[in-house]
Structure 1
Amino acid sequence: MAPIQKTIVSPVSRAATRSQFRRKTLPMTVPRIFLTHPYIRLASTMVPKLKDPSLFKQHVCYVNGEWIKARSGKTFEVNDPATGELIGTCPDFDAQDTENAIAAADAAFEPFRKTTGRSRSKLLRKWYDLMVENADDLATLITWENGKPMADAKGEVTYAANFFEWFSEEAPRIYGDTIPSSTPGNRVWTIKEPVGVCGLITPWNFPAAMITRKIGPALAVGCTVVCKSPGETPYTSLAIAELAHRAGVPAGVVNVITALDNTPEVGKVLTTNPTVRKVSFTGSTPVGKLLMRQCSSTLKKLSLELGGNAPFIVFDDADVDAAVAGAIISKFRSSGQTCVCANRIFVQRGVYDEFAAKFAAKVRDFTVGNGFDTSVTHGPLIHHRAIDKVDQHVRDAESKGATILVGGQKMPDLGPNFFQPTVIGNMTTDMAMASEETFGPVAGLFPFDTEGEVVQIANATSVGLAGYFFSRDLARVYRVAEHLEVGMVGVNTGLISDPASPFGGVKESGFGREGSLYGIGEYQVTKMVTYGGMGLPLQK
Structure 2
Amino acid sequence: MANVLRVNNPATGELIQEVKIHSEEEINQALKNGHDSFKRWRKVNAHERSRLLQRWSQLVQEHKEEIAKIMTLENGKPLKESLGEVDYATSYIDWYAEEAKRIYGRTIPASTESKRIIVSRQPIGLVAAITPWNFPAAMMTRKAAPALAAGCPFIVKPAVETPLTTMRLVELAHEAGIPTDVIQYVNGRGSVVGDLFTQSEYVRKISFTGSTPIGKQLIKNSADTVKHMTMELGGHAPLIIAEDADLDLAVQQTLITKYRNAGQTCVCANRIIVHENIVDQFAEKLAEEVKKLKVGNGLDSDTQIGPIINEKGYEKIVSQIEDAIDKGAEVLAGNQYDVNKDQGYYFVYPTVLKNVSADMVIMQEETFGPVAPIVSFKTLEEAIEIANSTPYGLAAYFFTNDYKTGTYIHDNLDFGIIGWNDGAPSGAHVPFGGMKESGLGREGSIEGIEPYLETKYLSIGNL
Which bin holds the TM-score, normalised by the shorter protein?
over 0.9
Give, in whole Å, the separation in 2 of the partners of 1:436 and 1:183. Answer: 57
Q: Deviations over 1:253-312 (max 9, x none)?
A: 00111113xx31211111111110000000000000110001101000000000000000
- Paired residue type of 1:465: L
* Pairing partner for 2:237 from 307, 310, 316: 310
Provide the residue aligned with 1:82 in structure 2.
11
- Paired residue type of 2:297: N
Alignment of 1:343-382 (within 5 A): 343-382=270-309
Provide the residue aligned with 2:325 in structure 1.
398
Provide the residue aligned with 1:15 in structure 2.
none
Provide the residue aligned with 1:499 in structure 2.
428
Provide the residue aligned with 1:341 in structure 2.
268
Provide the residue aligned with 1:46 in structure 2.
none
**How far off its partner does 1:415 sit?**
6.4
Provide the residue aligned with 1:527 in structure 2.
456
- Paired residue type of 2:236: N
**How far off its partner does 1:250 sit?**
1.4
> How many aligned residue pairs are there?
461
Give, in whole Å, the separation in 2 of the partners of 1:409 and 1:396. Answer: 15
Give, in whole Å, the separation in 1 of the partners of 2:373 and 2:83. Answer: 29
Provide the residue aligned with 1:287 in structure 2.
214
Give, in whole Å, the separation in 2 of the partners of 1:317 and 1:415. Answer: 45
Alignment of 1:73-472 (within 5 A): 74-260=3-189, 263-412=190-339, 416-472=345-401
> After the TM superposition, which of the residue ranges 365-374 and 72-81 deviates more from structure 2?
72-81
Give, in whole Å, the separation in 2 of the partners of 1:344 and 1:180. Answer: 51
* Pairing partner for 1:482 from 411, 433, 442: 411
**How far off its partner does 1:411 sit?**
1.5
- Paired residue type of 1:511: L
- 5+ residue gaps, structure 2, are none
Q: Deviations over 1:327-356 (max 9, x none)?
A: 110100100000000000000012111111
Provide the residue aligned with 1:55 in structure 2.
none
- Paired residue type of 2:288: A
Give, in whole Å, the separation in 1 of the partners of 2:325 and 2:347. Answer: 19
User: TM-score, normalized by length of structure 2?
Assistant: 0.98
**SS of residue in 1 equivalent to 2:347:** coil
**How far off its partner does 1:73 sit?**
8.8
- Paired residue type of 1:271: T
**SS of residue in 1 equivalent to 2:294:** coil
Q: Deviations over 1:485-533 (max 9, x none)?
A: 1111111100011000000001000111001100010100101111122
Give, in whole Å, the separation in 2 of the partners of 1:315 and 1:233. Answer: 39
**SS of residue in 2 equivalent to 1:307:** coil
- Cα pair 1:139 1:150 within 8 Å, conserved: yes
- Paired residue type of 2:211: S
Determine which structure has more spread, i.e. the larger CA radius of gyration.
1
- Paired residue type of 1:526: T
> After the TM superposition, which of the residue ranges 134-143 and 99-108 deviates more from structure 2?
99-108
- Cα pair 1:73 1:91 within 8 Å, conserved: no
What RMSD, in angstroms, separates the aligned Cα atoms of the two structures?
A: 1.3
- Paired residue type of 1:422: T
Q: 1:73–1:358: structure 2 CA closer, same or farther, 3 Å change rule?
A: closer
- Cα pair 1:423 1:445 within 8 Å, conserved: yes
Q: State whether structure 2 residue 439 is matched by structure 1 residue 510.
A: yes
**How far off its partner does 1:179 sit?**
1.3
Give, in whole Å, the separation in 2 of the partners of 1:525 and 1:500. Answer: 22
Give, in whole Å, the separation in 2 of the partners of 1:189 and 1:317. Answer: 54
Give, in whole Å, the separation in 2 of the partners of 1:176 and 1:389. Answer: 49
Q: Percent identity?
A: 44
**How far off its partner does 1:412 sit?**
2.2
Q: Deviations over 1:435-482 (max 9, x none)?
A: 100000000001111100110111111110001000111112222111
Which protein has the bigger helix share?
2
- Paired residue type of 1:325: Q
Give, in whole Å, the separation in 2 of the partners of 1:273 and 1:289. Answer: 18
